[in-house]
Amino acid sequence: MRLLTREGSSLILSNPLIRRYRCSLFRPANFWIYMTIYVSVVLLLLFINSVASQIADTPITQTEFYRGLYAQFLLVEVAILWVWATSPFKALIFKRIA
């Protein structure tokens, strides 16, 4: 017994949510844009921290430097997971409610 017949597949594809999201949002064009933004943020964090550690009045140890980097990267990852990754669904929900 086939679970997904032609009728079942047309029923599934008639759902507007499935039609909109059946293709990944990480298509090659979008993937390179997202990766460029992510790499730019990472390089900016590294640059700011290295400059700040060089001009600091009191020298910081490597452990403190990497601990600060870890906290900042953790914050960026949480922002990506909670804000950036959910934005397409948020826009869809607001569009459906309106």
Residues spanned by the domain of 61: 25-97
Phi, psi of 52 (to 5 degrees): -65, -35
Q: Is residue 49 domain-resident?
A: yes
For the chain, the first-to-last Cα distance in angstroms comes to 41
Q: Is residue 9 domain-resident?
A: no
Q: Is residue 77 domain-resident?
A: yes
Q: Is residue 8 domain-resident?
A: no
Q: Domain count for the chain, please give it.
A: 1
Q: Is residue 4 domain-resident?
A: no
Q: Is residue 87 domain-resident?
A: yes
Q: Is residue 92 domain-resident?
A: yes
For the chain, 98 residues long, the average pLDDT of each consecutive 10-residue run is: 55 72 65 85 91 86 90 89 74 71
Q: Is residue 1 domain-resident?
A: no
- What is this structure's pTM? 0.56
